């Protein structure tokens, strides 16, 4: 696989033993313990936010490889089981470690983004993803910049898709965000900025307008 | 829909590690390795002898219920269900296309203009009920998810199959009664047993009998499958006799090998059938 592979899948953070295991999983999935591989990937996603942002890609590749090689979905099943387990305990996770919680949300959204079933997103993940985003829109989470940042990042990446799957929940979510922006106490200026930007982004049909680009992302020259 | 996805209740009752109920009874476990009979508390005892924990016959492989989705608050199972559904939809589209193209080319060939020269071009009614198709697909998957099937397709490529001799997967898109369909599936799976790998018992008689049984089986399957497509109900008694015997012997082989039983009993049944 070489350097490009490592870059692409962002597996540098693993020790060399594990990197070898992952590479084998990608090339010859039936020869490895796929349940173990799934758990390794999930564990790492909860620790390493850089990895969790793109972990969907490596998961997708392993799933395709396994399907092609033996026509099975052992890896996918283990992955989803573990994902579901963490989802059930997400409140505890958040209490234990805010960082791990943020990593989890990033991970599950990335999985939703990448893992398709016959070119359709996984229906089973739609409501759980929404649930996570709704949690991030709660007052105690809005007061934390890292959580607001996570929330708007996910909406940028998968908001449009998510809305297609269930627009009513998206409406409800943005209702919360508007209220949060307007009424929430203890919101940092950065958080307010992030919220305003995502509200505009969605209002522009999930597209970046020139005006918004200029306002939020361009350097002030004067 | 809301109940399915939002409540973790379902997931709480089953540990993430245990296979969904409909996975029980496969010849191969989730890791792809062939299951020994003793594993999973007799889960491998599928169609043959025992009853499953909930009192249903092991051969009753089709989960009945309000519908596939409402029972799955297990993400992995829900995704597999979705995948099967979309695959089935793709297949039915392809099958319809195939039928249309056949019709089209037949019309072209018999261009004499006589409208009553066509043998069976009356529009065939297909099975389109999703619940039925999903159930049938699951049954087919059970049969295909076996080492026997793997060996079969390796040994006999589709182009070399001889109709009536080599087992053929029942066509889930054709209209059949429930009994007829279930019977076809049973016979098909029985026929596939001819390609079971030899057991580790090292009994070389085992080498012979699969071949013998194979010949006898497929003969009977051949005659049965044509019949089953019309009126399997009539043959139900005789049909159901043979498969049970063969399966029983299959599992017997894991323990003591009873050659007498292998060679004599099926022969008796075959005689009554033919």
Q: Tell me the pLDDT band of B39, cut-offs 50, 70 and 90.
A: very low
Count how many domains chain B has: 1
Among B40, B41, B58, residue whose Cα is nearest residue B49: B58
> What pLDDT, on the 0 to 100 scale, is given for residue B119?
54
* Distance from C-alpha of A129 to C-alpha of A182, rounded to nearest angstrom: 24
The pLDDT of residue B10:
42
Residue A149's pLDDT is what? 97
Which pLDDT does position A10 carry in this prediction?
77
pLDDT(B251) > 60: no
Q: Is the fold of A18-117 the same as that of A122-221?
A: yes
Distance from CA of B11 to the nearest CA of A (A): 8
Q: How far apart are CA B226 and CA B232, in angstroms?
A: 9
- Is 50 exceeded by the pLDDT of residue A5? yes
Instruction: Give residue A42's pLDDT.
Output: 97
Residues 6+ apart with CB under 8 A from A175: none
What kind of fold does domain A122-221 have according to CATH? 1.25.40
What are the pLDDT digits (tens) for B186-195? 999 999 998 9
Question: In A, which residues are within 8 Å of B75 by CB distance?
Answer: 80-81, 83-84, 122, 124-125, 128
Nearest to B5 by CA among A17, A41, A80: A80
Q: Which residues contact A201 (CB under 8 A, 6 or more apart)?
A: A155, A156, A159, A207, A208, A212
DSSP sequence for chain A: -HHHHHHHHT-TTS-HHHHHHHHHHHH-GGGS-HHHHHHHHHHHHHH-HHHHHHHHHHHHHHHHHHHHHHS--HHHHHHHHHHHHHHHTHHHHHHH-HHHHHHHHHHHHHHHHH-EETTEE-HHHHHHHHHHHHHHTSHHHHTSHHHHHHHHHHHHHHHHHHHHH-HHHHHHHHHHHHHHHHH-TT--HHHHHHHHHHHHHHHTTS---HHHIIIIISPP--
Cβ–Cβ of B83/A83 closer than 8 Å? Answer: no
Q: Does residue B56 surpass a pLDDT of 90?
A: no
pLDDT digits (tens, 9 = 90+) for B125-150: 889 898 999 999 999 999 998 889 98
pLDDT band at A35 (very low <50, low <70, confident <90, very high): very high
What number is the average pLDDT over the span A185-195? 95
Q: Which of B21, B173, B17, B9 is nearest to B90 (CA)?
A: B173
Contact A90, A108 (CB under 8 A): no
Do B79 and A74 lie within an 8 Å CB cutoff?
A: no
Provide the pLDDT confidence category of residue B30 given band limits of 50, 70 and 90.
low
Range of the domain at B142: 76-108+128-195
Cβ contact A108:A128 at 8 Å: yes
More confident residue, B210 or A94: A94
The nearest alpha carbon in chain A to B30 belongs to A74
- B27 within domain boundaries: no
Q: Is residue B29 part of a domain?
A: no
- The domain that holds B147 is classified in CATH as 1.10.8.1120
Contact A165, A123 (CB under 8 A): yes
Average pLDDT over residues A8-17: 83
A29-38, B52-61, B62-71, range with greatest mean pLDDT: A29-38
Asked if residue B44 is part of any domain, the answer here is: no
Domain A18-117 falls under CATH 1.10.1740.10: no
B119 within domain boundaries: no
Instruction: Please give the pLDDT value at position B213.
Output: 44
CA–CA dist A167, B53 (Å, integer) = 42
Mutation target vs A (from B18, B79, B145, B146; most A CBs, 10 A cutoff)? B79
Q: Which of A127-136, B8-17, B34-43 has the lowest mean pLDDT?
A: B8-17
User: Considering only A118-122, B114-118, B173-177, which range has the smallest mean pLDDT?
Assistant: B114-118
Kindly list the domain boundaries of chain A, sorted by start residue.
18-117, 122-221
Interface pTM, i.e. ipTM: 0.87
Mean pLDDT for all residues in chain A: 93
Q: Please tell me which of the candidates B5, B32, B90 has its beta carbon nearest to residue A72.
A: B32
Among A36, A39, A92, A123, which would you mutate to test the B interface (most chain B Cβ atoms within 10 Å of its Cβ)? A123
Nearest CA in chain B to A88: B8
Distance from CA of B40 to the nearest CA of A (A): 18
């Amino acid at each position: 696989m070489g350097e490009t592979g490592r870059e692409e899948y962002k597996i540098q953070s693993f020790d060399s033993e594990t990197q070898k295991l992952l590479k084998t999983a990608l090339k010859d999935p039936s020869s490895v313990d796929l349940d173990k591989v799934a758990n390794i990937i999930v564990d790492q996603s909860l620790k390493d936010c850089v990895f969790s942002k793109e972990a969907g890609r490596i998961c997708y590749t392993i799933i395709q490889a396994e399907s092609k090689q033996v026509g099975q979905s052992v890896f996918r099943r283990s992955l989803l089981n573990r994902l579901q387990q963490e989802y059930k305990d997400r409140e505890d996770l958040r209490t234990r470690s805010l960082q791990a919680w943020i990593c989890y949300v990033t991970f599950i959204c990335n999985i939703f983004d990448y893992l398709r079933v016959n070119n359709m997103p996984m229906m089973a993940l739609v409501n759980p993803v929404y649930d996570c985003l709704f949690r991030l829109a709660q007052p105690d989470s809005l007061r934390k910049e890292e959580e607001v940042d996570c929330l708007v990042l996910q909406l940028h990446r998968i908001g449009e898709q998510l809305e297609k799957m269930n627009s009513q929940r998206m409406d409800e979510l943005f209702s919360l965000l508007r209220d949060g922006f307007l009424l929430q106490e203890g919101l940092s200026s950065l958080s307010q900025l992030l919220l305003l930007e995502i509200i505009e982004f969605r209002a522009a049909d999930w597209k970046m307008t020139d005006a918004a680009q200029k306002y939020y992302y361009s350097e002030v020259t004067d | 829909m809301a109940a399915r996805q939002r409540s973790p209740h379902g997931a709480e009752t089953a540990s993430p590690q245990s296979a969904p109920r409909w996975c029980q009874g496969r010849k191969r476990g989730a890791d792809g390795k062939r299951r020994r009979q003793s594993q999973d508390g007799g889960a491998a005892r599928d169609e043959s002898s025992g009853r499953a924990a909930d009192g249903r016959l092991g051969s009753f492989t089709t989960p009945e219920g309000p519908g596939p989705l409402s029972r799955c608050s297990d993400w992995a199972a829900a995704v597999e269900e979705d995948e099967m559904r979309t695959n089935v939809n793709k297949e039915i589209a392809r099958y319809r296309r195939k039928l249309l193209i056949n019709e089209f080319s037949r019309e072209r060939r018999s261009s004499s203009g006589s409208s009553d020269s066509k043998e069976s071009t009356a529009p065939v009614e297909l099975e389109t009920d999703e619940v039925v198709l999903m159930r049938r697909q699951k049954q087919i998957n059970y049969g295909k998810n076996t080492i026997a099937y793997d060996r079969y397709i390796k040994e006999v490529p589709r182009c070399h199959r001889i109709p009536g001799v080599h087992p053929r997967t029942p066509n889930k898109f054709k209209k059949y009664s429930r009994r007829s369909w279930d019977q076809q599936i049973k016979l098909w799976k029985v026929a596939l047993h001819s390609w079971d790998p030899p057991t580790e018992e090292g009994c070389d008689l085992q080498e012979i009998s699969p071949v013998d049984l194979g010949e006898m089986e497929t003969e009977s399957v051949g005659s049965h499958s044509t019949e089953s497509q019309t009126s399997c109900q009539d043959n139900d008694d005789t049909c159901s006799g043979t498969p049970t015997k063969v399966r029983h012997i299959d599992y017997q082989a894991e323990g003591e090998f009873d050659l007498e039983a292998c060679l004599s009993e099926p022969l008796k049944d075959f005689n009554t059938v033919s």
